[in-house]
Amino acid sequence: MNPKKLFIVEQYLSWNGHYKRYLDCLVSDKYHYIYSSLKPLDYPNAIFLPATEENNKGNFIDFVKGRFINSYKAYKKLVEQNADAAHILEFEPFSFLYLLLFKRKQIPALIITVHSIERMRYANRVKDLVSTLQRKVYAYTLNQAAEMGAMFVTHYEHHKDQLLSQIGNKYSTSVFMIPYPCPKLKTGRIIKRDSSGKKLLIYGQIREDKGIYEFLSTPGTEKLSITIAGPVVDERIFKFKNHNITFLNKYFNEDEPELMELVNSHSFMLLPYLKSYTGGSGTFKDSIAFGLPIIASAIPTFKEVINQGQVGFIFDKVTDIVRFCETTDDEQYASIASNCFKYAQQYNWDYMRQQYFTLYEQRLMMLKKNT
């Protein structure tokens, strides 16, 4: 009997974000890889596909083109390999629709990571229309994959519940929750508040779907001491230069000493995202690994982790933020920071790697039994 081959597909390595770190975590001589990037990388058993120049640093049209073209090339290459199984790290519905329409019989047994169910919402009507259409195709293709026997992975129980509401509870045994990993512990973190106890850090890519502009438009935010550190895509926020805000409009690598210095000079990570925000948040888990307590809006995924790990505070109004900063004493602060480290130590990249590898072997074992 020939050994079964499992391919892991990642088409967005040319983009900023978690994409490369995620794939690196899953590298093993036991599996095969299809990846798209600007240059070849040192992966075993791998097929390299040159990425388009369009990426998530460009405009919206470039983003959409890059997303579809890179996915189309990767998925097309996958079916050409006669793979037995495949793990799709980034599910792109229009490219997968192409497989369903023209290559359905060649689609291998699938594991699909679903990072979110609800669509991104944009202030721009054209962008929002594109997002609406994309999510309708997304729902259809996920249902088709489920009917074909796909396994699914989500990183939050909330997303698992949303996925099952989409594809049906009859597929509950096919959906697995693996917590999104925290980076390695940042032991250089100084566990103390700044002298005022009120310096807040908003870190990461500043996009309009996160709702940071809307938050800063709320009365009372002008009194908060905030640093905004990360690439600014939603340039509307620059109108708040008269607020008590420091802008650091650049990309920070999580291992840069500059980022540690930035974290050490602030008391809390602030994630004031809109309740309609649908994505995950690597920033959220970065904060935990730094031992930096979090103040976050009442998004279900944030509430899920904060309630489980006691790593921060959920706010509803701006006055809640002020009150929490003022009433949290040094002992309480140190306890929350300690909880952050405990959570990060448990749910790290090694944990995710082992969970995925167990799932891969389960998928391959099922195929062998059915041969």
Find the range with the poorest average confidence among 103-112, 310-319, 323-332.
323-332
Q: Is residue 2 very low, low, confident or very high in pLDDT (cuts 50, 70, 90)? A: low
Annotated domain spans of the chain: 6-181+348-369, 199-346
pLDDT digits (tens, 9 = 90+) for 155-205: 999 999 999 999 999 999 999 999 999 988 887 666 766 656 689 999 988
pLDDT at 190: 65
* Comparison of pLDDT for 16 and 208, the residue scoring more: 208
pLDDT at 279: 67
Distances (CA, A) of 37 to 11, 54, 60, 146: 7, 11, 19, 29
Give me the chain's average pLDDT, please: 89
In this predicted structure, the answer to whether residue 82 has a pLDDT above a threshold of 70 is yes
Q: 299-304: list long-range contacts, CB under 8 Å, 24+ apart.
A: 299/273, 299/275, 300/156, 300/158, 301/156, 301/158, 301/159, 302/271, 302/273, 304/156, 304/157, 304/158
Q: CA–CA separation, 271 vs 228, rounded Å?
A: 11
pLDDT at 209: 84
232 near 301, Cβ under 8 Å?
A: no
Q: 13-18: list long-range contacts, CB under 8 Å, 24+ apart.
A: 13/37, 13/38, 13/41, 13/51, 14/38, 14/51, 14/52, 14/55, 14/66, 14/70, 15/55, 15/56, 15/66, 16/55, 16/56, 16/57, 16/205, 16/231, 16/251, 17/56, 17/205, 17/282, 18/282
In this predicted structure, the answer to whether residue 27 has a pLDDT above a threshold of 60 is yes
Average pLDDT (247-262) is: 84
pLDDT at 122: 57
Are domains 6-181+348-369 and 199-346 of this chain identical in fold? yes
Q: CA–CA separation, 119 vs 57, rounded Å?
A: 20
Q: CA–CA separation, 88 vs 137, rounded Å?
A: 17
In this predicted structure, the answer to whether residue 370 has a pLDDT above a threshold of 90 is no
In this predicted structure, the answer to whether residue 65 has a pLDDT above a threshold of 90 is no
Given strand 294-297, what is the order of strands in its sheet?
Answer: 245-248, 225-229, 199-203, 268-271, 294-297, 312-315
pLDDT digits (tens, 9 = 90+) for 210-232: 999 999 999 999 989 999 999 99
Provide CATH code, domain 199-346: 3.40.50.2000
Which residues in 147-178 are b (16+ Cβ under 10 Å) and which e?
Answer: eeebbbbbbbebbbbbbbebbeeebeebbbbb
pLDDT at 128: 64
Average pLDDT (284-295) is: 92
Closest CA to 73 of 36, 33, 112, 31: 36
Average pLDDT (40-50) is: 96
pLDDT digits (tens, 9 = 90+) for 270-279: 999 998 887 6
Average pLDDT (283-300) is: 92
Q: CA–CA separation, 220 vs 234, rounded Å?
A: 21
Average pLDDT (99-122) is: 87
From 3.30.360.10, 1.10.1050.10, 3.40.1160.10, 3.40.50.2000, which CATH number describes the 6-181+348-369 domain? Answer: 3.40.50.2000
Average pLDDT (16-21) is: 85
pLDDT at 1: 47
* Comparison of pLDDT for 17 and 14, the residue scoring more: 14
pLDDT digits (tens, 9 = 90+) for 137-169: 899 999 999 999 999 999 999 999 999 999 999
In this predicted structure, the answer to whether residue 242 has a pLDDT above a threshold of 80 is no
Range from 66-75, 112-121, 152-161, 271-280 that averages highest in pLDDT: 152-161
